[in-house]
Structure 1
Amino acid sequence: MAARSGDPQRATGTGQGRGAAPSGASDSGAAAPGLAAAEPRTAGSAAADFAALVAEAAAAPVEGWDFSWLAGRATEERPSWGYARLIADRLARADTALDLDTGGGEVLAEAPALPPRMAATESWPPNLARAAARLGPRGVAVVATGEGAPLPFADAVFDLVVSRHPVATPWEEVARVLRPGGAFLSQQVGPASVFELTEFFLGPQPPETRARRHPDHARAAAEATGLEVVDLRMERLRMRFHDVGAVVYFLRKVIWIVPGFDADRYRDRLRELHERIRAEGAFTAHSTRFLIEARRPRSAAPHPPTGGRLDRDRPQVPIMGETDRGALRR
């Protein structure tokens, strides 16, 4: 999904959250979504000069959730479950599906086959435009949503909801829009993800900060809405940054790792990091990812309105019909 201000649940590639990358968005190789697997630059190359590396990375565009700029400069292991493959298989068998926080639509676009009725939501305007351009030609209804706002869909309309590195999972809304027997499948950022970088720049973080986004919290939240958690797995994955420019670019793009990061503000620490990378060959960190699947019981009663809202007060965007896939209508 894509970078936005504030919440660590966006994802990245490393998305602490808030989700994809070039060929890196797929989970089918040695490198993780977001960071491409390639040979690192040699320390003796002309680009290894500190000032040049920082200036280059500080000027690079960081819109969208494409991490191809990091090819040859950073790598990240991928989770063993292969999220892109998992959702591709599920989407091929679904009738109606929703991708929450689709970012620029990078991950969803990799699926070879989409359901007859498919929607995606996104709240960050730059990503919304990218997602519409990428997914619209495939008949996906890309819908703008506000963070924290109710989903603009009728009750029990989707048999599959997916989300990679969501900003925050709206569990009540997920349970509401799922049909009985429907499933929510999501890869999310786990606790203390990439904290080696966070603490290098910000110093030691308190235990309560390190414990945020634990999968047990997700399980409890899902079960509180009546969903049944049928799969929950977590992995720690190695990341390696081969030059300081890769770190600058990464921190500019994944803005919650070091909130308020600015290359000039942290220039002294960046210089220390540059020397460390030149001496050791790379800076190593670890991302945390977890996979969660939760199902709405087939015997589930109609889901009550949440937040005191009546159904008639909730903005509705029913899924389009099979013969009118490019437009939202009743």
Structure 2
Amino acid sequence: MNGWDFSKLQVISEGVEWEFYEEVRKNSKNTDVLLDIGTGGGEGLLSIASSLLLTVGVDLSKSMVETAKENLEKSEITNVKFLQMNSDDLQFPAGFFDVISCRHAPFSAVEVAKVLKRGGIFLSQQVSEADKLNIKQVFGRGQAFHEPDGNLKATYIQDLKEAGFSKVQSYDYNAKNYFQRPEDLVFLLQHTPIIPNFGNRIEDGMILEEFIRSNRTIKGICTNEKRFLIIAEK
């Protein structure tokens, strides 16, 4: 995404039904070669690299790849490579990977099918249209705010089937997020596309203050986290 460290956010989640890279690990063998599309700073990939033979992370952002390489150097892990690459043009031999993962990043089903082995597994977690819905409603704008919930999932499933995937399964969760401090919520909005150009409008600060007042609970400032997971076999 942006190279920002979201791990320092103080947020309590209830109802999260899976951890994406743990799902990737469970669907992989220690003899597998894995590609991670939209790898960002590489933290997720590095967390499971020891369970695989070889892993490659690609991201369109040059700065993200630089961050990932810095994280790799600190980790001293030896079976990971990070490359700057467009997911619409994957520069690898056909059928090179046993497993491909993609978390919160766009992908081309055709390109994924091209570089995945027959019988290989593709896993993708994406943000649903109804994610952070109460925030988008109070601002009157937001990422996919006017899109029907489920459109993106349906589109990706159709694309994967047309690209030759024989078995495509999907899962959803709609969890609660409780942000512990206003600054945690501000950081999230500043460094994600949830509210486009957050802070550029004079009224944004006042709208956020009203949102915090209206949604503050004993557990924290409440919003939702809606995700879907696709697991497809070629």
Instruction: Work out whether the TM-score is over 0.5.
Output: yes
Aligned AA (1:185): L
Residue 276 of structure 1 is aligned with which of 193, 202, 214? Answer: 214
For the aligned residues, what is the CA RMSD? 2.5
Displacement after TM superposition at 1:172 (Å): 0.5
Aligned to 1:320: none
Aligned pair 1:99/2:39, yes or no? no
Aligned to 1:19: none
Moved over 6 A (4+): 204-207
User: If each structure's strand is expressed as a fraction of its own residues, which one has the higher value?
Assistant: 2
Residue 86 of structure 1 is aligned with which of 23, 29, 37? Answer: 23
Tell me the percent identity: 24
Residue 150 of structure 1 is aligned with which of 67, 78, 89? Answer: 89
Displacement after TM superposition at 1:242 (Å): 3.4
State the structure with more CA Rg: 1
Residue 191 of structure 1 is aligned with which of 124, 129, 133? Answer: 129
Displacement after TM superposition at 1:264 (Å): 6.8
3-state SS in 1 of match to 2:186: helix
- Aligned pairs for 1:1-330 (under 5 A) are 2-3=1-2, 63-64=3-4, 66-71=5-10, 74-77=11-14, 79-111=16-48, 113-135=50-72, 137-138=76-77, 139-146=79-86, 149-166=88-105, 168-202=106-140, 208-211=146-149, 213-254=151-192, 256-262=193-199, 265=202, 266-276=204-214, 280-281=217-218, 282-296=220-234
1: CA distance, partners of 2:155 / 2:51: 31
Displacement after TM superposition at 1:250 (Å): 0.9
After superposition, what is the alpha-carbon deviation per residue over 1:12-71, rounded to whole angstroms, capped at 9, x for unaligned? xxxxxxxxxxxxxxxxxxxxxxxxxxxxxxxxxxxxxxxxxxxxxxxxxxx33x323322
Instruction: For structure 2, list consecutive stretches of 5 or more residues without a partner in the other structure.
Output: none
Aligned in 2, Cα 1:271/1:208: closer, same or farther, shift over 3 Å? closer
1: CA distance, partners of 2:8 / 2:175: 20
1: CA distance, partners of 2:143 / 2:199: 20
Aligned to 1:327: none
Q: Does the 8 A contact of 2:130 with 2:145 survive in 1?
A: no
Instruction: For structure 1, list consecutive stretches of 5 or more residues without a partner in the other structure.
Output: 4-62, 297-330
3-state SS in 1 of match to 2:48: coil
Displacement after TM superposition at 1:153 (Å): 0.7
Displacement after TM superposition at 1:183 (Å): 1.0
